[in-house]
Structure 1
Amino acid sequence: MTDNAVTDTATPDTAATGPADARVAAEAARRRTFAVISHPDAGKSTLTEALALHARAITEAGAVHGKAGRRATVSDWMEMEKARGISITSTALQFPYRDCVINLLDTPGHADFSEDTYRVLTAVDCAVMLIDAAKGLEPQTLKLFQVCKHRGIPIITVINKWDRPGRYALELIDEIQERIGLRPTPLTWPVGIAGDFKGVLDRRRGNYIRFTRTAGGATVAPEEHIPADEAHAAAGVDWDTAVEESELLSADGSDYDRDGFLSGESSPLLFTSAALNFGVNQLLDVLVELAPPPDAATGIDGTVRPTDGPFSAFVFKVQAGMDSAHRDRIAYARVYSGTFERGEVLTHASTGKPFVTKYAQSVFGQQRATLDTAWPGDVIGLANAAVLRPGDTLYRDVPVQYPPIPSFSPEHFSVARGTDPSKHKQFRRGIEQLDQEGVVQVLRSDRRGDQAPVFAAVGPMQFEVAAHRMATEIGAPISLEPLPYQVARIVEPEDAEFMNKQVSAEVMTRSDGVLLVLFSTPWRLQGFQRDNPEIKLRSLVAAADG
């Protein structure tokens, strides 16, 4: 089996470029920007923490569920995340490993926050798909895989929780190939069945990597690399079984193939226990050696922006409330090309207005530090960015605009009302802030008035987050009254008045000016379309559509 190492992503030939362009190309080649995606409770935040631990970015891993005496994970910093033990917002973590710079984007696992995860997937070059060893492929994992496939994002698969009872390794491999058509090409193979995780067979090098538990999995698990001819003495029949199964995989054509990986036909696969920090080092090494570095980006008009071209960046997320002592707002922007220098004046592509980057920061979970320089693949935090929204483009010198992030089709609707009349200014400011961040979509109508905006969401948990933030961050508590609608469609302005007269339907205006008509049920929509074929209603983009 061929061992594709760092030579796969070596620094490009710089003979034909100038010193500045050569530096940009070299720095871009060092970046690995990826997201971790999974179904809820597959161990995503635990893996994120373990990766940071093994890269020495933190000294001790936290526990997702906040067990006594241990802190919460770095990536789950919101109070609701700590209380529930789930990720409800995406987080950026940057740290060095070997000779590379890792930009890791943790994503919400819950389906209610699919929009946030989708935004993150517009900003990465690779995805790590995490699968629970006992549960296999789950619905949210399947949806996120489809998004990655649509966007052409290569996937590294990780089967997690091998320290717990679960399914057979070969059974999980077959399920992945049969259900999503992605051929797994294992790079490591477990020594010991699920629930009895002793170590892994490194299929590229042939040796046995034996793991040793640490107290509570809070520190890096020691590894012992044992040559193949000594592995039987160390692991007995479990080693023999691992070797036999690895040979079966090779005979079946399931060895790593770089072209297949980058084209989305196959997926390098590893076995881990993130909670015990087993197999995490191997994943970091694979990301450095095999994951693609940043590449040229394509603008909305089809123009290609190479990584060593003039500076450009894409805003994929806006987040407020990260620091209660500073009521600022952070815009997360992925650098696509050129060099970022703090303090320079960029152009906001959608408005043509200047944007000053005086308050640029590097972000590590909730922690922030002043950032002076960034390169393609990096994620920069732009503070006090009230004019920026997800989907915006920033550039210098040569204009470019990247495709916007589509809105998902909401299925849940609630009227928001302030419960304290004296807080009307805070109420208005908070609603605008939640809308700009994309926490919920905000709809309005003349019938309901400005003091009764309607929240539209993919899932009901978004309402909980919105209400919590309005009360705790904005200081303007709200009540939410559910509306009897389940589906939305885009309607043309000339048909709005007619639609407002329909039974079980209501027209509202989204903050971007788009008119939406809400129907009580999908069947009511179907009946209307059957009876009124001359009225053209357009679908909103759904999660699975990419």
Structure 2
Amino acid sequence: MLVWVTHKTDIAIKNARNIGIIAHIDAGKTTTTERMLHYAGFTRRIGDVDSGDTIMDYMKQERERGITITSAAITFGWKDHRINLIDTPGHVDFTIEVERSIRVLDGAVTILDAVAGVEAQTETVWQQAARHGIPRIAFVNKMDRAGAGFGRTVREMRVRLGCRPVVVQIPLMESPSGAVGAGSSDAEFNGVVDILSMEILRWNSDSKGAKMSKSLLDAHYPDKELYQEAVKARVALVEQLSALDEHIIELFLTLEDHMAIETKDLQAAIRRLTLSSTIVPVLCGASFRNIGVQPLLDSVVNYLPSPDERPAALGRMSDGKVIEIGAGGPKERLCALAFKVIHDARRGSMVFVRVYSGQLNERAQLWNSSTHTKERANKLLQMYAMDVEEIPHITKGNIGVVLGLKDTRTGDTLLDAHDPRKDLALSGIKVPSPVFFASVEPISTSDEKPVDDAIRALIREDPSLGVRVDEETGQTLLGGMGELHLEVAQERLVSDFKVKAEMGRMRISFKETMRGAGVVSEVPTWEYDRELLGKRGRARVGVSVERLERFEDQGEDRSKLGRSSQRNDVMSADLEDHDGNEIMILISEQTPSTDEAGVRAASEKAALSGTVIPSGTTDLPMPILRTAVKNGMLAALSRGPLLGYAQTHLKVRLTDLHLYGSDSTPAAISSCVSAAVSEAIRLGGNSSSGEDGNNSVLLEPIMDVRVEVAEKDVGTVIGDISGTRRGRVLSLDGQSREESQVEDQEEGEFQLYAPPDLTYTGSLSALSTGGIATMADRKSIRAQMPLSSMVGYDSALRALTGGTGKFAMEVIGYGEVDYDRQCDLIKEMRGG
């Protein structure tokens, strides 16, 4: 099926494109990608999602379900350019795949369903791309479907995505009966009109879209309405560009004719404005019918950036200094980011990397600045979905796979082993916290170790999975982002890792924290003195724990780990984020003077800066000392006193540290800190809260939910959200076509153009039979709801809306469980 086309290994960086395909589920991402590969000459035939033979959806679970589960990378050539493309999932359970792909991409193609318009998950992935400043182009797919609305989708982009959509193509509607005019009752989507070149593009169905014909659209074209609309579209395009680009306004003032400005000048302006994320070029097509894909590839090359056209990546040193990566030219040392890890039964761990500077060579010695370990790149691979090709090196700006890395995880920074900047770290990847969990039970005792090993490998692949052991029941609990996420994980344990295990029913993953916002609990002195295996361990610490008031979802972002503020007398003073907790470890590197005045001065300075001057003696290096303290804090936070859930939104600070020479081992220090933090949490909260453990409170995940329903169902759905679901409605939007046009006309900065769907969608009867009218009149409800009330919401929403409602959700934070419900949950889970 694959055609191995040889491309230049060291293609110029200006001709490279690192792009991703992002969209709501079922918008046509994989279908579009399969056409791209075929027309680029990479495959002999086009894979079909329904048949389960696509290149990009290569996993067994993907082909069985017909959806994308894991992001797949592939490299192919198009018109002397190399395109590194990543096809991402559209299902909310696999949002980590979108997040880590977008982190390393330079541009993105957003696929929109012409019938459904801007859907709930479209907004989510759009915001993910916007957060990273990724330039985007939009492709309105499925224009051949009944009820398709190109103009309506463009208007929705403006209203719901908040971008400036610029139409560069309009749909070509033709009647098989020969009737002139797109308004004919039997009009069909047969191609597109390129507004820049004023050409009609048609695709030959016998060649499966491989052959495309062009014809000039001018005043002599039989369909006068089509020509007039194309002229209107080009005038609007020039006006839009003139308002934003100085070069186009100069040309217009010189030529004084919208139609006289050349295509190359318009393309250059669109490129400039797209790279700055000022506009979003909008194209249209029907990928399943092989229409519009080649112009989309041309737009990727013409409008999306090469790696050297993106802002330089930023790295941070442990002292807080920020360094631009890749700005030093070709001789700069290697710096790469590991953004994905997959397990291969034959090759072992395969680590996907994006090289930001230097060159990654085969057999190179590497330094992982995130784990502070040495690694060796045994082999380098170029990925073609599930197929690979060995390559000698990965150059700056490119994406590849490294074999042989044992400790590297998602978000780790890889440097040259001889680079003196051992603590340089790139901004990391935010990993969402698991919100559901289910028990994983080995079938027999002999299966326990294989199951544990498989779960560790699975979590290394997918960091949005999590695992913990319930100390009361001894069960292994696997956490994930949803029911489908955990179901796929279980299937992979059995089919990919060949282990025998069963998964229990899904539960909500709660968290714990101290009761009472703003409460500070302090343990001034806590001493540890024990003998273990004939060796004495001693340490004394003081800690304070404060309940933070914010409850947004932190996840884990490796860019925040190791942040430091430099002081003259502080070796390492940092505020680290761990799952919503803030950890402060300020330890002085200097030994205070022995005279009384020196001790007093050092103490006053330490008090002002929050620095701890360790007393006693020790031979431990400062990094090991800090690591021991941090490990103790994390151990205490990993399990709460109520039900053993991880604790969050606590600020933990070291306030005192006394060491006892060789007796103060790292293990003794960690144990002492862990016990002190646990005691501070136990003592914290309201003094009137009663028995031990009630000073803590359960937190449940709160979801940001976007529900799309027909206008007639709004009242029913809102009533269900506010009542049964214990939710809070934040907004209700969804403008009519006329309201949207009025708003755009009144907005002087950007005059939106969108072709009328009445003209380009067929007969008036189509508007009245539910197709377009249903979608045009739909409303978008945004609400916040506890995750526990969202279990089974998919089927409930279908029942409330007659099967027309859709929704998407994501974790935005955690909220306190009320006391009565908390008591019920504790009783249920403890079996009381």
TM class by shorter-chain length? 0.7 to 0.9
> 2:210: which partner in 1?
221
In structure 1, C-alpha distance between the alignment counterparts of 2:35 and 2:287, rounded to whole Å: 6
Residue in 1 aligned with 2:500? Answer: 477
Deviation at 1:182, TM superposition (A): 0.5
2:23 equivalent among 24, 27, 38: 38
Give the TM-score normalised by structure 1: 0.82
Q: Compute the TM-score of the two structures, normalised by the length of structure 2.
A: 0.55
Q: Determine helix, strand or coil for the equivalent of 2:508.
A: coil
- Distance 1:377-1:501 versus aligned 2 partners, 3 A rule: same
Structure 2 distance, partners of 1:360, 1:251, is 49
Q: Residue 179 of structure 1 aligns to a residue in which SS? A: helix
Residue 75 of structure 2 is aligned to residue 59 of structure 1? no
Equivalence map 1:447-466=2 (5 Å): 447-448=471-472, 452-466=475-489
Task: Rate the CA distance shift 1:237–1:59 in 2: closer, same or farther, 3 A.
Answer: farther
The CA deviation at 1:292 is 0.6
Q: CA RMSD in A?
A: 3.2
Cα pair distance change 1:436/1:294, threshold 3 Å:
same
Aligned residue number for residue 100 of structure 2: 119
| Residues 1:429 and 2:414 aligned together | no
Give the Cα–Cα distance (whole angstroms) in 2 for the partners of residues 385 and 75 of structure 1.
Answer: 25
Task: Write out aligned runs for 1:372-391 (5 A).
Answer: 372-391=392-411
- C-alpha distance in 1, partners of 2:428/2:82? 27
Higher relative CO (CA 8 A, sep ≥ 6), structure 1 or 2?
A: 1
Distance 1:519 1:509 in 2: 9
1:506 to 644, 652, 660: 644
Q: Is the 8 A contact 1:491 1:517 kept in 2?
A: no
Check if 1:197 corresponds to 2:221. Answer: no
CA deviations on 1:144-176 (whole Å, 9 max, x unpaired) are 111111111111111011122234322221111
Instruction: Tell me: CA distance 1:111–1:72, structure 2 relative to 1, closer, same or farther (3 Å).
Output: same
Say if 2:470 and 2:476, in contact at 8 Å, map to a contact too: no
Secondary structure, counterpart of 2:397 in structure 1? coil
1:348/1:354 contact within 8 Å kept: yes
Aligned residue identity for 2:45: E
Specify the SS of the correspondent of 2:77: strand
Change (3 A) 1:151 1:245: same
Structure of greater Rg: 2
Structure 2: how far apart are the matches of 1:461 and 1:350? 31
- CA shift, 1:115, in A, is 0.9
Are 2:698 and 2:817, in contact at CA under 8 Å, matched by a contact in 1? no
- Report the equivalent of 2:557: none
Asked if the contact 2:104–2:339 (Cα under 8 Å) also holds between the matched residues in 1, the reply is: yes
CA contact under 8 A between 1:184 and 1:268: conserved in structure 2? yes
Structure 2: distance between partners of 1:211 and 1:494: 60
User: Given the alignment, which residue of 171, 187, 195 partners 2:152?
Assistant: 171
The Cα of 1:257 is off from its aligned counterpart by 3.6
Shift of 1:120: 0.6
Per-residue deviation, 1:236: 6.4
8 A Cα contact 2:195 2:233, kept in partner: no
> 1:330 corresponds to which residue?
350
| 1:286-305 mapped onto 2 (5 Å cutoff) | 286-295=299-308, 296-301=312-317, 302-305=322-325
Following superposition, the deviation at residue 280 of structure 1 comes to: 0.9
Structure 1, unmatched stretches of 5+, are 1-22, 532-546
* Alignment CA distance shift 1:488-1:147 (3 Å): farther
| CA–CA distance in structure 2, aligned partners of residues 79 and 151 of structure 1 | 32
Alignment of 1:359-438 (within 5 A): 359-396=379-416, 397-398=418-419, 399=421, 400-438=424-462
| Inter-partner Cα distance in structure 2 for 1:273 and 1:311 | 42
Identity of aligned residues (%): 26
Q: Distance in 1 between matches of 2:75 and 2:29?
A: 17
Quick check: 1:77–1:366 contact (8 Å CA) kept in 2? yes
Counterpart check, 1:264 vs 2:277: yes
Cα separation, partners in 2 of 1:372 and 1:281, compared to 1, 3 Å: same
Q: Secondary structure at the match of 1:171?
A: helix
2:110 aligned to which of 129, 141, 164? 129
Counterpart residue identity of residue 275, structure 1:
F
The 3 A distance-change label for structure 1 pair 361 and 498 is closer
Does residue 1:310 correspond to 2:333, yes or no?
Answer: yes
Hey, what's the Cα distance between the residues in 2 that align with 1:473 and 1:231?
62
Cα deviation for residue 140 of structure 1 reads 0.8
Q: Could you tell me whether the CA contact under 8 Å between 1:430 and 1:474 is conserved in 2?
A: yes
Q: How far is 1:305 from its partner?
A: 1.1
Which of residues 347, 351, 376 is equivalent to 1:356? 376
